Amino acid sequence: MRILLEGGRVLDPARKLDKVCDVLIEEGKIVEVGPGLAKKFLPRHPAPGTAVFSAKGLWVLPGIIDIHVHLREPGREKDETIKSGTRAAAMGGVTTVLCMPNTDPAIDTAERVKWVRNKAEKDAAVRVLVAGAVSKSQKGVELAPIGGMAEAGAAAFSDDGKPVATAQLMRRALEYTKRFGLPVIDHCEETTLSEGGSMNEGAVSFRLGLNGIPRAAETITALRDIELARLTGGRVHLAHVSCGETVEAVRRAKKAGINVTAEACPHHFALTEEDMPDYDPNFKMNPPLRTKADVEAIRQGFADGTLDAIATDHAPHSPEKKALPFQDAPFGVIGLETLVPLSLDLVRRKVVSPLRWAELVSAGPAAVLGLKDRGTLKPGSDADISIIAPEGELVYEKSESRSKNSPFLGRKLKGKAVATVVGGRFVMEAGRLV
């Protein structure tokens, strides 16, 4: 199948391209990007086997890569499956997801990495990369067999859902993963400070009578990880940055030449603790919603290059679990289908340019994981493409996810994915899965 995307605004941050162009795809690869391709290849009528998609008025960018997604399979299929989670990804314009290892059992062996990859080959609507656990059973005691998992195709390592438990374990993980050129992704949380907390520590938690989680719980661990990256030369990636102090720590580390990258989630720069309806578990996530000052710090981190990627931390939980009282309900919200409209608010606020936004959702995540053939539209790269209507209206009333725990359900949002192409094939078009 040959596909011609005609007349869209092409945003390719890897080549600093922001121009109205056509994009030609053949056999799952980008063949050519440039103006006038429709006249060159389709002088009168499309040749047999050629599909023409009019992208006029739309943005065409390298496929969105979400490097922080919980697909829950194996073991927690009531919350999510590889099939349902990747269908949600396709609806949201996401072409690649990195799934976290906090499944049941944890993805902590080469065999389990292979199992998820094989299951994804059969069930997934988009590409699935696998993060292996840092520690056995994610217990934070003994290093998992990182070498075997790397050879089995693990793309990164993390104990996400939990922090890497000790400095010594983190040091060993960074030293070991350095051999494979793969990052350790850490959920930064000093649990002796956060234990028993359910939202940001501050005036709102005091008013609601809820135990709070201080910003220091995140920043202390982030500083630990940065120093260990300095010591080892390993690659550390800080997940879901939520507060200004952590943004500043990453900024200083990058200026010092330390091998650190970081992401932030749409809910952490779209909402504050003050936006939460009293005791609504769909606003409960870890790290929690912070303050207006923290939101501004994250936005500035995107603007000045401190933060490398936007990631959702898509964390599905069944309605029964989220129906528990606030302090007992699990942390986490879904986010794959709202990534585009929420993150486009950065463009509308003139925090970042459209090209920088495309970098944050495509080229930036690709660089974190070292993906050479994704995050760009250069000829020869994978034909993974997200087609976006920046002014389109999304009424978020239903989800392809098995869970519905989003603070944005029922809202009208601006900006949406209108088509998702994976490997030269449409998997979503005109708001419908193909």
Of 186, 313, 382, 384, the catalytic one is 313
Residue-by-residue pLDDT tens, the chain, 434 positions: 789 999 999 999 999 999 999 999 999 999 999 999 988 776 555 566 788 999 999 999 999 999 999 999 999 999 999 999 999 999 999 999 999 999 999 999 999 999 999 999 999 999 999 999 999 999 999 999 999 999 999 999 999 999 999 999 999 999 999 999 999 999 999 999 999 999 999 999 999 999 999 999 999 999 999 999 999 999 999 999 999 999 999 999 999 999 999 999 999 999 999 999 999 999 999 999 999 999 999 999 999 999 999 999 999 999 999 999 999 999 999 999 999 999 999 999 999 999 999 999 999 999 999 999 999 999 999 999 999 999 999 999 999 999 999 999 999 999 999 999 999 999 999 999 99
Residue type, 189: E
Tell me which fold the domain 63-369 belongs to: TIM Barrel (3.20.20)
Q: Quick one: angle between helices 215-232 and 244-255, nearest 10?
A: 20
Side-chain-facing half-sphere of 423: CA atoms under 13 Å: 8
Neighbours of 207 (CB within 10 A): 9
Domain boundaries, the chain: 2-60+381-433, 63-369
Among 232, 234, 296, smallest CA distance to 264 is for 296
Q: Quick one: angle between helices 82-91 and 110-123, nearest 10?
A: 60
**List of residues 6+ apart from 279 with CB closer than 8 A:** 208, 325, 326
Q: Are 19 and 7 in contact (CB under 8 A)?
A: no
Task: Kindly tell me the number of DSSP H helices and DSSP E strands found in the chain.
Answer: 15, 19
Task: Name the CA dihedral angle for 79, 399, 421, 434, rounded to a multiple of 10 degrees.
Answer: 100
DSSP result, 340-393: HHHHHHHHHTTSS-HHHHHIIIIIHHHHHHT-TTSS---TTSB--EEEEEEEEE
Q: How far is CA 190 from CA 132, 143, 341, 421, in A?
A: 22, 19, 32, 40
Q: Are 213 and 199 in contact (CB under 8 A)?
A: yes
Q: Is the backbone of residue 271 left (phi > 0), alpha (psi -120 to 50) or beta?
A: beta
Please state whether the peptide bond connecting residue 105 to the residue before it is cis, i.e. omega within 30 degrees of 0.
Answer: yes
Tell me which fold the domain 2-60+381-433 belongs to: Urease, subunit C; domain 1 (2.30.40)
C-alpha 213/C-alpha 288 separation (Å) is 8
Give the phi and the psi of residue 149 in degrees, each rounded to 5.
-70, -40
Active site residue 313: yes
Q: Supply the DSSP symbol for 143.
A: B
Q: pTM of whole model > 0.95? A: yes
Q: How far is CA 70 from CA 79, 160, 173, 231, 421, in A?
A: 10, 9, 21, 30, 22
Tokens of 146: 């990182």
Q: Are 124 and 89 in contact (CB under 8 A)?
A: no
Distance of CA 83 to the CA centre of its chain: 17
